[in-house]
């Protein structure tokens, strides 16, 4: 393929660059300040590539199927739509042949603030784009050396050598959707808890990674995307794989706008553990405070408060934090969080063989559906308590759909909702509604009371008349 290198592993690409050197290619034209910057980025990248070669020599397995070529990537990128742009990089979604698999293509954002500022300062567009490309290459090199469900997967990288000296490269990544914090605030607690748990698992991995303890220096929600409901970090150009070196404890001050923390200088002369603590406090201030406590089951509130307090004061490391999250998850999944009080379930009659025939009904918050009231429940008992607390609720249906924790979704409906026979779900109807003699169903062919035969009592007692 002339003028292009087929999809390559970034560490190899990085090493190839180190051999060429920034000055050799166009030493005479780039201003000295920019040359120095380029040389510094190149050394930084060289160190990282060497660490990865030494500590994580096993290259990631390639995805199944044929490898993509740069021509595929260029063709797909031409018709692609932008999904996100930052200061340095721009991301488009594209379908790659032959199967049309959707991926994210990340490249240098020529119109972004990073390149624009550099051009203003140095007046050298291709050198400035090359400078930004080092960030992209650093990110891809790191992605190659790390492997975790909380880190976006890198499929490969493509280099168009016809565009030298600007070093035009494209990273081919797993496609996600940008994290929308406002939207997340309106989703059920269970989903928000998952985002926080995913983050804690990621931070635990980063603290113990094969490349050492890694700090995300620019830690913000916009560095993350969601893939199939899971949180993944995608912006890895601004990270540190080394901990600060120090002579005294004063050198290890951990600074945040609202608060500073002191940290010990180890006998080895590094602020050991500072990267982990830095990540954790950022997780606390950007994620946990917003997503964790709000509308959690009341029995779990004290545990969540403890997690917030312990991470907010940095009393916990990632190990203890992860353990606490797992404990909350266990309590939630096992239903142990449910208050121990008499259930409302005996006020309901179970009708087998009915389903909902209504598309729109009353809404509740935070519903899993936009057209009605759908909530995750532990069992019919919890659903009955919820139905009894909603003035509109007349019956509920335990659907076969499950949330990520394995809990079923229940649909809560009012008296205006129509039930139709011929479904294999169970409808729990308020006894008071049954005894009013209202026809149970209006099936599309108007066979009144069809299915009356299948009526069975929840506690094997017939409805009172
Ligand atoms: N794999 C992906 N799938 C979908 N969208 C993505 C993906 N990776 C990144 N994005 C979106 O593109 C935006 C820019 O990517 P990225 O954060 O890597 O660029 P950046 O220039 O370093 O950003 P920043 O200015 O935040 O540092 C992200 O904020 C995110 O919304
Ligand atoms: C944190 O420390 C810095 C440097 O010592 C200081 O300037 C700043 O005021 C401190 N911030 C807080 C919130 O204490
Ligand atoms: C944690 O709890 C203690 C004691 O109640 C309190 O003084 C402190 O401010 C709390 N810290 C945070 C981050 O909430
Ligand atoms: C945290 O747990 C990991 C194993 O999962 C272990 O290797 C590491 O030493 C622990 N860190 C601390 C600070 O206890
Ligand atoms: C209602 O009509 C559908 C299709 O027209 C039919 O399959 C079904 O058996 C009918 N139900 C009853 C109870 O008659």
Mutate to test the pocket of ligand 2, among 249, 260, 261 (most ligand atoms within 8 A of CB): 260
The set of protein residues with a Cβ atom below 6 angstroms from ligand 2 is 255, 258-260
Cite the residue boundaries of each domain of the chain with CATH code 1.10.510.10: 178-334
Q: Which atom of ligand 4 is nearest to the CA of 317?
A: 13
The per-residue DSSP string of 78-136 comes to HT-EEEEE-SSEEEEEEEETTTTEEEEEEEE-TTSHHHHHHHHHH--HHHHHHHHHHHH
Just give the CATH number of 4-175.
3.30.200.20
The answer, yes or no, to whether any atom of ligand 1 lies below 6 A from the CB of 139, is no
- Separation of 309 CA from ligand 3 center, angstroms? 6
- Separation of 445 CA from ligand 5 center, angstroms? 6
Cite the residue boundaries of each domain of the chain with CATH code 3.50.4.10: 345-458
pLDDT at 443: 44
Note the residue count of the chain. Answer: 465
Identify which ligand lies nearest to the alpha carbon of 201: 4
Cite the residue boundaries of each domain of the chain with CATH code 3.30.200.20: 4-175
CA dist., res. 268 & res. 247, Å (int): 9
Token pair 């945040």 is found at: 256
- Separation of 324 CA from ligand 1 center, angstroms? 30
Residues 251-278 pLDDT 10s: 999 999 999 999 999 999 999 999 999 9
Structure tokens at 186: 């309106």
CA dist., res. 13 & res. 256, Å (int): 36
Token pair 């930084």 is found at: 44
Q: What percent of the chain has pLDDT over 70?
A: 83
CA dist., res. 416 & res. 393, Å (int): 10
pLDDT at 65: 46
Per-residue pLDDT of the chain (465 residues; tens, 9 = 90+): 333 444 556 666 666 666 555 444 454 578 899 999 999 998 888 888 888 877 755 555 454 445 566 777 888 888 789 999 999 999 999 998 778 889 999 999 999 999 999 999 999 999 999 999 999 999 998 998 899 999 999 988 888 777 667 788 899 999 999 999 999 999 999 999 999 999 999 999 999 999 999 999 999 999 999 999 999 999 999 999 999 999 999 999 999 999 999 999 999 999 999 999 999 999 999 999 999 998 898 889 999 999 999 999 999 999 999 999 999 999 999 988 787 788 899 999 999 888 888 889 999 988 999 999 999 999 999 999 999 999 999 999 999 999 999 999 999 999 999 888 888 889 999 988 776 655 555 444 443 333 333 444 333 333 344
Helix (H) or strand (E) holding 137: helix 125-145
Q: Please, how many CA atoms are within 13 Å of residue 379, restricted to the half-sphere of its CB? A: 10
pLDDT at 14: 63
Helix (H) or strand (E) holding 171: strand 168-174
pLDDT at 371: 93
**Fold of the domain spanning 345-458:** Hepatocyte Growth Factor (3.50.4)
- Separation of 181 CA from ligand 1 center, angstroms? 15
The answer, yes or no, to whether any atom of ligand 1 lies below 6 A from the CB of 171, is no
Instruction: Judge whether 429 and 348 are in contact, CB under 8 Å.
Output: yes
Q: Which atom of ligand 2 is nearest to the CA of 258?
A: 13
Q: Which atom of ligand 5 is nearest to the CA of 421?
A: 13
Residues 363-395 pLDDT 10s: 998 899 999 999 999 999 999 999 999 999 999
Instruction: Judge whether 166 and 129 are in contact, CB under 8 Å.
Output: yes
Atom 13 (ligand 2): residue with closest C-alpha?
259
Atom 10 (ligand 5): residue with closest C-alpha?
445
Strand order in the sheet with 5-8: 5-8, 154-160, 168-174, 101-108, 89-96, 81-85
- Separation of 412 CA from ligand 5 center, angstroms? 25
Atom 6 (ligand 4): residue with closest C-alpha?
208
Considering the four listed CATH numbers 2.60.40.150, 3.40.1390.30, 3.40.50.720, 1.10.510.10, the one that applies to the domain covering 178-334 is 1.10.510.10
Taking CA atoms, 309 is separated from 83, 184, 314, 460, in Å, by 36, 22, 8, 48
Phi and psi, residue 46, nearest 5°:
-60, -45
């Amino acid at each position: 393929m002339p003028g292009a290198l087929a999809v390559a592993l970034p560490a190899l690409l990085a090493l190839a660059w180190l051999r060429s050197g920034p000055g050799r290619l166009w030493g005479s034209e780039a201003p000295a300040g920019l040359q120095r910057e380029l040389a510094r980025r190149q050394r930084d990248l060289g160190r990282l590539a060497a660490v990865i070669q030494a500590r994580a020599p096993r290259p990631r397995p390639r995805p199944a199927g044929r490898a993509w070529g740069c021509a595929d990537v260029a063709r797909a990128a031409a018709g692609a739509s932008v999904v996100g742009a930052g200061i340095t990089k721009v991301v488009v979604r594209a379908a790659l042949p032959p199967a049309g698999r959707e991926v994210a293509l990340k490249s240098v954002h020529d119109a972004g603030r990073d390149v624009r500022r550099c051009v203003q300062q140095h007046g050298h567009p291709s050198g400035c784009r090359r400078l930004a490309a080092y960030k992209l290459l650093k990110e891809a090199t790191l992605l190659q050396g790390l492997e975790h469900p909380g880190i976006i997967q890198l499929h490969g990288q493509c280099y168009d050598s016809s565009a030298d000296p600007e070093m035009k490269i494209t990273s081919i990544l797993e496609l996600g959707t940008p994290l929308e914090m406002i939207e997340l605030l309106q989703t059920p607690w269970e989903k928000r808890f998952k985002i926080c748990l995913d983050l804690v698992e990621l931070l635990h991995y980063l603290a113990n990674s094969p490349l050492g303890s890694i700090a995300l220096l620019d830690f913000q929600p916009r560095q993350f995307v969601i893939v199939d409901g899971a949180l993944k970090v995608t912006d890895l150009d601004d990270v540190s794989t080394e901990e600060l070196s120090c002579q005294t404890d004063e050198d290890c001050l951990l600074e945040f706008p609202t608060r500073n923390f002191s940290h010990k200088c180890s006998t080895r002369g590094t602020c050991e553990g500072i990267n982990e603590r830095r990540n954790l406090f950022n997780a606390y201030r950007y994620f946990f405070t917003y997503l964790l406590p709000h509308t959690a089951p009341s029995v779990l509130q004290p545990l969540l408060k403890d997690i917030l307090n312990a991470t907010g004061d940095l009393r916990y490391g990632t190990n203890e934090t992860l353990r606490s999250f797992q404990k909350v998850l266990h309590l939630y999944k096992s239903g142990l969080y449910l208050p121990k009080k008499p259930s409302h379930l005996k006020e309901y009659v179970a009708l087998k063989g009915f389903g909902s025939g209504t598309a729109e009904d009353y809404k509740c918050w935070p519903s899993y559906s936009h057209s009605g009231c759908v909530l995750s429940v532990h069992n019919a008992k919890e659903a009955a308590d919820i139905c009894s607390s909603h003035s509109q609720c007349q019956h509920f249906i335990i659907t076969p759909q499950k949330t990520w924790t394995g809990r079923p979704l229940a649909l809560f409906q009012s008296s205006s909702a129509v039930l139709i026979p011929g479904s294999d779900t169970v409808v729990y109807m308020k006894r008071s509604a049954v005894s009013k003699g209202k026809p149970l169903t209006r099936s599309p062919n108007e066979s009144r009371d069809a299915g009356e035969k299948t009526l069975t009592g929840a506690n094997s007692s017939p409805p009172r008349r």
